[in-house]
Amino acid sequence: MTSVPNITLNNGVEIPQLGFGVYLVPPEDTKETVLSAFEVGYRHIDTAQMYGNEAGVGQAFAESGLARDDVFITSKLNNTFHAHDDALREIDGTLERLGVDQVDLFLIHWPMPGIDIDYVETWKAMEEIYVAGKARAIGVSNFLSHHLRRLDDETDIVPAANQIEIHPYLQQQDVRATSAELGIAVEAWSPIAQGQILDDAVVLAVADEVGRTAAQVVLRWHVQRGDIVFPKSMSRERMVENFGLFDFELDQSQIDRITGLERDGRVGPDPETFNWIPKS
Ligand code: NAD
């Protein structure tokens, strides 16, 4: 089986560079889907309170027979729970649903600019969660450079990771550069632009050159840039396809041609304006 390299986070915790995302995996299908992903070889699962499927991830882990140390689980604080006391309470719900004592990485899901709770307050609660040992690492998601700089100026712990939308149509070089400068690992969500990149002529040409699929070529582009990825698919065949990234390489000209596809092409919400509060 191909082995997935680890990336070392700024507190020494290691995260597999390739994982499996479960956004939009229905709760009733999550256990079986994640068990399939474990069978394929994935050992890093990306879930969130908002996805409503942490319990299914926990059931899959329990049934898998895998050791706790062999599986890396990320979850994210829901937009509803940014208040200090809410965050401290809700991490316990995550741990209970996952059936673990400690999550490997816990993220603030969105900065939420329009609510009256400052994300700096939320981050201070995240620091308490970390100090209490309920998360091996803490980080953020959808934070832009100015958000990261405020945390750097006003709080004690540098986030271990920043999970943001990245794919060849939206590369976020400024946020990647700020993250790198501050020692924050970058995680690329929607790494294949929810499928929209897969019929791009440049991607298909590179795929043809290396004898791989469009999805493999785009995911490999992320890997060679050093970002962490966790494509989502409920099909076993695609899980296998997306796992096959570590036995081929793109050359510099192939990387450059894919990088040339930047077009400010967001497929998800803009963190500057996104203020969605899910109904609970
Ligand atoms: P993605 O880029 O992984 O694309 C998923 C879509 O592509 C699905 O429709 C899937 O069926 C299809 N697909 C997957 N592999 C394929 C293949 N080999 N060939 C053809 N089609 C394929 O998009 P995503 O699910 O939005 O992102 C991945 C993960 O990122 C999520 O599951 C979640 O864990 C995370 N995420 C985080 C945030 C955030 O705000 N932090 C937002 C969105 C997603």
pTM tops 0.95 = yes
- Confirm or reject: Cβ of 21 under 6 Å from ligand 1: yes
Asked whether the predicted pLDDT for residue 94 surpasses 60, the reply is yes
Name the amino acid, one letter, at 275: N
- Residue among 110, 172, 232, 241 whose CB has most ligand 1 atoms within 8 A, to mutate: 232
- Distance from the CA of 267 to the center of ligand 1, in angstroms? 11
- Confirm or reject: Cβ of 142 under 6 Å from ligand 1: yes
DSSP assignment, residue 3? P
Tokens of 49: 């309170």
Run of H or E including 270: none
pLDDT of 160-211, one tens digit each?
Answer: 999 999 999 999 999 999 999 999 999 999 999 999 999 999 999 999 999 9
- Confirm or reject: Cβ of 215 under 6 Å from ligand 1: yes
Question: Mutual orientation of helices 145-154 and 119-131 as an angle, nearest 10°?
Answer: 60
- Confirm or reject: Cβ of 78 under 6 Å from ligand 1: no
User: Catalytic: 42?
Assistant: no
Give whole-number Cα distances, 167 to 55, 150, 225, 270, in Å. Answer: 29, 26, 11, 15
- Distance between CA 69 and CA 188 in Å, rounded? 23
First to last CA, the chain: 41
pLDDT of 225-253, one tens digit each?
Answer: 999 999 999 999 999 999 999 999 999 99
